[in-house]
Amino acid sequence: MKNLISVIILAILFAACGPERPKVEEGNGANEENAVAENANEGKGIGQVKEVTLNTPLEQDRIPRGKAIYEMKCQACHRLDDQRVVGPGWKDVTKKRKPEWIMNMITNVDVMLERDEEAQKLLELCLTRMPNQNVSLGDARDVLEFMRQNDGEK
């Protein structure tokens, strides 16, 4: 019993004397919130995607990959026309939203629903949170190209 207590005490001492962890500076968050608001005001949403270059004609190799992702992760809640099922229909979404906003909504949905005004309006309309599907940036770009084709771009 004494040996067990000694081992526990030694383990606690070693843990307390372990390597120093990096310090995280805590601020008031004003700079971060200003950057978020500035990015959101541009209509690009909130997230890692700051700039998307769209090519004309469409990148044909991306479209079938985007369609496959849509069928696997999106089709249960979104239709390709303007019909709302659980989420809004995708018709003309690329004409209404900037590509950066679309990709940020796909890849950073939790933050977008918490802090982006347009995403919050969609949540109020649909009443169901879009789940985080863990879509990579590359896959989100493929989905965007599929959306562009769906909206009639060539």
Q: How far apart are CA 103 and CA 109, in angstroms?
A: 9
Average pLDDT by consecutive 10-residue portion of the chain (154 residues)?
Answer: 57 46 38 49 91 96 98 97 96 97 98 96 94 97 98 96
**Structural contact between residues 89 and 81, judged by C-beta atoms closer than 8 angstroms:** yes
Long-range contacts of 32-36 (CB under 8 A, 24+ apart): 36/115
* Architecture in CATH of 56-154: Orthogonal Bundle (1.10)
40 residue type, one letter: A
51 residue type, one letter: E
Q: What is the pTM of this model?
A: 0.74
> Domain extents for the chain?
56-154
Q: How far apart are CA 61 and CA 16, in angstroms?
A: 54
